Amino acid sequence: MENGLHPLPPLRPRRRLHQGLCSRSRPRRTRPATSTGWSRSTPPSSAPTSTPPPPAERGQHHQDEPDDHGLGRSRGGLTTKIHLACDGKGRPLAILLTPGQRHDSICARPLLERIRVPRTGLGRPRCRPDQVIADKAYSSRGFRSYLRNRGIAHTIPEKADQQRHRYNRGRHGGRPPGFDRQIYHRRNMIERCFNRLKGFRGIATRYEKTATFYEAAVTLASFLLWARSV
């Protein structure tokens, strides 16, 4: 320099040295890893980090987590559909999550197979309902035959195109399925159950990224509905 003075050293090494001295003289309290809204575990900077996984294992989801995270395109956009079965008092019995474009009739059979009602005494849990009440979305020949084979009575209205198809076939079309309008009026219980579930803001608006976390939230909300009804 022209004035014969040396330039001052940069402040960054001093700052690092000062932080190192403070950390040695006063140990910092470590906090456990916290989970953010996107279900990613973020360890604090003071906690020891483990070795990163090999590149082949990175990006792999949990074995129970679908690749699409239960999201699909429907008329409302990117949505998740909740398939629900409830009892006569509007309490949830079985839950199934699928992408928004999945049709209801495809998930009817696996939904009923998830029903497990414990008995008060000895015996296996009850898995066969007395009667199934559903809307026109579940009106399919395969689902009706499945209910008949299991001996389950059902009240499901027939679609208009199915009626025309059966009428055009004449006597080969078979008899129309039985339908009791008075029993069908009890289907409002499932609508009430959905309204109670959507009373929880986290269920109405899906905040979780993964489908397993969202299914756990719906299950917890169902437990709360059962607790309120008792």
Which phi and psi angles does 53 have, rounded to 5°? -70, 160
| Residue 182 pLDDT | 92
| Residue 63 pLDDT | 64
pTM of the entire predicted model: 0.66
CA distance 15 to 36: 31
| Residue 152 pLDDT | 94
Number of H helices, E strands in the chain: 8, 7
175 lies in some domain = yes
31 lies in some domain = no
Looking at the structure of the chain, the number of domains it has is: 1
- Residue 175's CATH number: 3.30.420
The candidate with the shortest Cα–Cα distance to 177, out of 211, 153, 199, is: 153
As given in the structure block, the two tokens for residue 138 are: 């579940």
11 lies in some domain = no
* Strand 77-86 with 92-99, pairing: antiparallel
7 lies in some domain = no
Domain that holds residue 221: 72-118+126-229
| Residue 32 pLDDT | 36
Q: Where are the alpha helices (DSSP H) in 26-140?
A: 108-112
Q: Does residue 24 register a pLDDT over 50? A: no
CA distance 103 to 137: 8
139 lies in some domain = yes
User: From start to end of the chain, where are the E strands?
Assistant: 34-35, 41-42, 72-74, 77-86, 92-99, 131-133, 153-155
| Residue 73 pLDDT | 85
Q: Does residue 26 register a pLDDT over 70? A: no
210 in Cβ contact with 71 (< 8 Å): no
6 lies in some domain = no
As given in the structure block, the two tokens for residue 158 are: 């027939």
190 lies in some domain = yes
162 lies in some domain = yes
Task: Reduce the DSSP state of residue 109 to 3 states and report it.
Answer: helix
